[in-house]
């Protein structure tokens, strides 16, 4: 399936763009090249080479302006030749060396081989992110894209075509990593080697080094075999950081400063872990302490480099939009997401104020101030929530769901001051966060009832699932409130509106960072300003870590709200097609069956309407 070629119309447009520049203007090759990539994310070799000349450097330079008064004729000749080459290649058949494929089974085979290619080569247990290795991987990527584009999927059922797009999006994601974000070059936090806490989405958020120790994936208490394996991997930390010192040549100041903080936090986590296993596994304690020492040495090195860093960390609006559409399959631009998030932010504030007015004669919510009362409230909340889902026929409730929810009850936080944002919510009422923690039901389903598709059963790369995973968890807060979950908890509705305002505000902060309109400090202050009740101080841990992550992984920041809006659109179309015979349980069960993939693909599979996806990939 080649969805990138649309005849000579885009080529003609680009040529007009080239020739339309005034001799007195400043010519930006990145504009033309990004236009080429918009029409053809997998361009021919001349286009790639010209693009790499401007976008591939150890310092990750995003664009280069050239004065047309000096070089206009030469540039026009080069670009015209490049564009004509693009037109020729676009209108030509696939290379003879690429064999066409036609079956879904062949796609699954390609997917498995692709995942092996995507993972960096391991050298004595250490992933190779050297300049040479990364250049080789990027150069070979086009061969995988050519193999994928050789598939003829026209007669496939929609569910199999959906899987083709998932592989397409992953390949675009790797291309974006190499052309734009380059985390192994720009982001010290990429090299965090030890994660002690679980993630609530299918794959850990953000760009992460391959081979990192994911402690929650081991069964507890640790067996001797597992303890030895973890110890062996922790002892690779020193070599990981020796390589990182060579690879990290970027100039992204905020990412550097925040990444240094992440490495320091890792050191603390390793110290705590070492103490926790000292009695049962002395050798593992030694390995953790060795890794901690390597982590601190690396953090000290990073700190010494901070004064040399001065560049922006965001990717820019054009790059952001390309990633949003071609990787995350969301049919919007940076500018459109800004409008949508502002609308939801203001709607949340308006809804909160009217709800507060309705509740003005009721007692205010009081936070639980001791562990016993808090634990009883949260456990009772889980029971009531699961009973509600079953009694109200919201979805088919399975035996594994309630234990999964109960296992993730957050600990009581003893303090007289402000807790983290989500602890502030949970210490007041358990229901709003139980709705959002549908995450844990989904992860349990992935374990107990893996998707029938081998591609969907494997967590997507680049957090491509974000609009579905985060968007639906956010949507559930309002959906179950509308279904009656909070009818006897009128004050809890205020918390639902505050949570939406928080997600819209922090999402805008992330957008502004990538739009190069705010730095990290400005984004945290903006988000804090727009969260009601003063629950999100700019210097607090919640927003500090969230805005850092959004800077690392462009497009995730808005996924909570944008994904929620896409789910609303899906429900509307799904119900419209049934002429008022909408059955919530049937919808939810089918929605869950489709899997944790971009909502645009869920929309297509559940309604037969491809328009949401087409809006992202540029098809009519």
pLDDT tops 90 at residue 131: yes
Task: Please identify which residue in the block is written with the tokens 């236009």.
Answer: 35
Residue range 435-477, pLDDT digits in tens = 999 999 999 999 999 999 999 999 999 999 999 999 999 999 9
Q: Does residue 221 have a cis bond before it (omega within 30 degrees)?
A: yes
379, 432 contact by CB (below 8 A): no
Confidence of residue 43 (pLDDT cuts 50, 70, 90): low
How many residues belong to the chain? 620
| Tally of CB atoms within 10 A around 96 | 6
Predicted confidence at residue 38, as pLDDT, reads: 45
SS3 197: coil
The average pLDDT across 524-549 equals 98
Asked if the model's pLDDT at residue 21 lies above 90, the reply is no
Confidence tier at 98 by pLDDT (50, 70, 90): low
Check residue 560 and give its pLDDT.
98
Nearest to 36 by CA among 10, 55, 6: 10
Half-sphere exposure of 293 (CA within 13 A, CB side): 7
The 10s digit of each residue's pLDDT in 401-417 is 999 999 999 999 999 89
528 pLDDT above the threshold of 90: yes
**What pLDDT, on the 0 to 100 scale, is given for residue 100?**
77
pLDDT band at 97 (very low <50, low <70, confident <90, very high): low
| pLDDT confidence band for 259 (50 / 70 / 90) | very high
Confidence class of residue 102 from pLDDT cuts 50, 70 and 90? confident
Strand, helix or coil for residue 123: strand
Which pLDDT band, with edges at 50, 70 and 90, does 49 fall under?
Answer: very low
Report pLDDT digits (tens) over 490-501: 999 999 999 999
Asked whether the beta carbons of 563 and 474 are under 8 A apart, the reply is yes
The angle, 0 to 180 degrees and rounded to 10, between the axes of the packed helices 466-482 and 599-607 is: 70
Work out the percent of the chain whose per-residue pLDDT is above 70. Answer: 84
Q: Please, are residues 193 and 266 in contact by the beta-carbon 8 Å criterion?
A: yes
Query: HSE of 354 in the Cβ direction (CA atoms, 13 Å)?
Result: 6
Chain position carrying tokens 């070629």: 5
358-372 average pLDDT score: 96
pLDDT score at 580: 80
Give the CA distances from residue 64 to residues 21, 27, 254, 332, 526, in Å, rounded to whole numbers and listed in that order: 16, 9, 22, 26, 31
**What confidence tens digit (pLDDT) does each residue in 366-390 have?**
999 999 999 999 999 999 999 999 9
The tens digit of pLDDT for each residue in 277-300 reads 999 999 999 999 999 999 999 999
Rounded to an integer, what distance in angstroms lies between the CA atom of residue 80 and that of residue 19?
9
**Are 596 and 469 in contact, with CB atoms under 8 Å apart?**
yes
Report pLDDT digits (tens) over 143-190. 999 999 999 999 999 999 999 999 999 999 999 999 999 999 999 999
Dihedral sign from CA coordinates of 300, 301, 302, 303? positive
SS3 readout for 411-463: CCCCCCCCCCHHHHHHCCCCHHHHHHCHHHHHHHHHHHCCCCCCCCCCCCHHH
pLDDT of residue 55 exceeding 80: no
545-559: average pLDDT: 98
Give the residue-averaged pLDDT of 232-239. 98
For 6, 89, 321, 322, 469, the CA distances from 15, given in Å and listed in that order, are 15, 16, 22, 21, 41
Q: What is the dihedral of CA 375, 378, 384, 385, to 10 degrees?
A: -150
pTM (predicted TM-score): 0.85
Measure Cα distances from 465 to 166, 238, 285, 471, 511 in Å: 10, 33, 36, 9, 19
The DSSP H or E segment spanning 213 is strand 213-214
Least confident piece of the model among 27-36, 64-73, 217-226, 487-496? 64-73
Inter-CA distances, 462 with 203, 231, 448, 558, Å: 9, 28, 24, 15
Q: What is the mean pLDDT of the chain?
A: 89
b/e per residue 9-42 (b: at least 16 CB within 10 A): ebbeebbeebeebeeeeebebbbbbbbbbbbbbb
- Structure confidence at residue 329 (pLDDT): 98
3-state secondary structure of 209: coil
Please tell me the chain's helix, strand, coil percentages from 3-state DSSP, rounded to the nearest 5.
65, 5, 35
Check pLDDT > 90 for residue 504.
Answer: yes
Higher pLDDT, 194 or 39: 194
Categorize the per-residue pLDDT at 53 as very low, low, confident or very high, splitting at 50, 70 and 90.
very low
- pLDDT tens for 200-217 read 999 999 999 999 999 999
Q: In whole angstroms, give the CA distance from residue 162 to residue 118.
A: 20
């Amino acid at each position: 399936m080649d969805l990138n070629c649309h005849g000579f119309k885009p080529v003609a447009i680009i040529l007009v763009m080239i020739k339309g520049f005034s001799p007195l203007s400043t010519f930006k090759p990145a504009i033309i090249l990004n236009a080429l990539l918009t029409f053809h994310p997998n361009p021919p070799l001349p286009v790639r080479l010209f693009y790499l000349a401007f976008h591939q450097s150890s310092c990750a330079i995003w664009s280069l302006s050239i004065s047309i008064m000096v070089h206009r004729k030469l540039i026009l000749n080069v670009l015209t030749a490049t564009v004509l080459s693009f037109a020729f290649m676009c209108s030509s058949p696939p290379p003879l060396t690429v064999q066409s494929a036609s079956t879904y089974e062949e796609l699954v085979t390609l997917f498995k081989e692709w995942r092996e290619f995507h993972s960096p080569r391991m050298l004595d247990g250490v992933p190779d992110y050297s300049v040479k290795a990364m250049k080789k991987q990027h150069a070979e990527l086009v061969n995988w894209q050519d193999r994928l584009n050789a598939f003829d999927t026209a007669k496939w059922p929609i569910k199999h075509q959906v899987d083709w797009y998932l592989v397409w999006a992953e390949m675009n994601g790797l291309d974006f990593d190499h052309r734009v974000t380059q985390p192994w070059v720009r982001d010290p936090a990429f090299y965090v080697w030890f994660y002690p806490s679980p993630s609530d989405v299918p794959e850990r958020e953000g760009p992460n080094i391959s081979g990192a120790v994911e402690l929650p994936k081991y069964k507890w208490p640790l067996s001797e075999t597992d303890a030895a394996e973890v110890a062996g991997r922790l002892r690779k930390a020193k070599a990981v950081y020796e390589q990182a010192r060579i690879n990290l040549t970027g100039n992204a100041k905020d990412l550097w400063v925040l990444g240094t903080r992440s490495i320091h936090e890792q050191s603390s986590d390793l110290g705590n872990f070492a103490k926790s296993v000292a009695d049962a596994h002395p050798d593992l304690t030694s390995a953790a302490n060795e890794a901690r020492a390597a982590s601190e040495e690396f953090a000290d090195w990073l700190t010494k480099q901070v004064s040399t860093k001065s560049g922006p960390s965001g990717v820019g609006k054009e790059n952001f939009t390309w990633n949003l559409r071609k990787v995350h399959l969301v049919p919007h631009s940076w500018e459109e997401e800004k409008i949508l998030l502002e609308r939801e932010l203001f709607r949340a504030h308006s809804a909160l104020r009217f709800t507060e007015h309705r509740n003005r004669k009721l007692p205010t919510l009081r936070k639980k101030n001791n562990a016993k009362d808090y634990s009883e409230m949260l456990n009772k909340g889980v029971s009531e929530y699961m009973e509600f889902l079953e009694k109200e026929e919201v979805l088919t409730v399975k035996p594994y769901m309630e234990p999964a929810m109960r296992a993730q009850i957050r600990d009581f936080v003893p303090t007289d001051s402000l807790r983290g944002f989500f602890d502030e919510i949970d210490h007041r009422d358990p229901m709003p966060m139980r709705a959002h923690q549908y995450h844990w039901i989904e992860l349990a389903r992935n374990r107990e009832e893996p998707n029938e598709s081998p591609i969907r059963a494997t967590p997507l790369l680049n957090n491509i699932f974000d609009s579905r995973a985060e968007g639906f968890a956010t949507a559930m807060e309002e959906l179950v409130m509308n279904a009656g979950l909070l009818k006897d908890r009128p004050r809890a509705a205020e918390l639902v509106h505050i949570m939406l305002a928080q997600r819209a505000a922090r999402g805008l902060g992330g957008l502004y960072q990538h739009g190069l309109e705010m730095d990290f400090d400005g984004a945290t202050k903006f988000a804090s300003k727009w969260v009601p009740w003063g629950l999100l101080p700019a210097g607090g841990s919640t927003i500090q870590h969230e805005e850092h992550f959004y800077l690392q992984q462009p497009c995730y920041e808005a996924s909570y709200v944008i994904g929620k809006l896409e789910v609303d659109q899906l429900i509307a179309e799904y119900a419209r097609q049934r002429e008022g015979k909408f059955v919530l349980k049937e919808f939810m069960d089918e929605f869950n069956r489709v899997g944790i993939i971009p909502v645009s693909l869920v929309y297509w599979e559940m309604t037969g309407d491809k328009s949401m996806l087409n809006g992202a990939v540029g098809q009519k």
